[in-house]
Amino acid sequence: MAPVGGLPFLEYLLLWLQSAGVQELILCVGYKRSQIQNWLGEGSRLGVNVTYSGEKKLLGTAGALKHAQHLVTAESFFVLNGDSFLSVDLGEMYRYHMLRRALATVAVVQQPRSARYGTVQVDRYGRIEAFREKNSDLGLMNGNDFQLINGGVYIMQREFLELIPCDKAASLEKEVFPSLVGTTLYGFVTNSYFIDIGIPADFERAQSELPERFTA
């Protein structure tokens, strides 16, 4: 687990979730999962209760959720990517999701225009109308300066899991979410702090920004 400012990136995510009142976590783990389990254990050190769903082969973001379905007991639950951090207000996002009776809600964050990310287009009611591939000029906000992107935080209803095929690799972003465009898939637009450590430059930026946010 790569450290960020002296702590593993996952620890910042867990500390943030714990501060938001989240107590029960299911971690979908695969490659080098024993390192995570040995480091985190049952989560008591960080004030959370952790259950693990281990993958013997890579199943993708949707396949990993399907594999963990038997562990999900709540009717509504949050899902987070493990390589990005979005400090969205989870309570506000949950209320938004429930008010719209959504099957799933995606936290959509406004970011400066970049070819690195695909974009998300929402209508005036918050319903997601389209996902645009990287390098597309469509789906932008405020002229050419900003775009809406997937922030990697979701709320889902249990029945959402029935849309995911069993025992095969599948992607939330490329397969499942696009199949729901124009229906009960909503976007919760936020300007919250966002960082994705998927490239070296942003991983380096996280070295200073995340420790500052957790010590302020």
Q: Which two tokens stand for residue 64?
A: 């990993």
Tell me whether residue 168 is one of the annotated catalytic residues. Answer: no
Q: β-strands 3-4, 7-8: how paired?
A: antiparallel
* Alpha-carbon torsion, ordered 209, 211, 215, 216, to 10 deg: 0
How far from chain centre, in Å, is Cα 194? 11
- Nearest by Cα to 49 from 17, 3, 75, 78: 17
How far from chain centre, in Å, is Cα 216? 24
Q: Which of 32, 66, 134, 174 is catalytic?
A: 134
**Cα 100 to Cα 90: distance, rounded to the nearest angstrom:** 16
Q: Looking up tokens 């959402």, which residue turns up?
A: 160
Active-site residues, by number, are 134
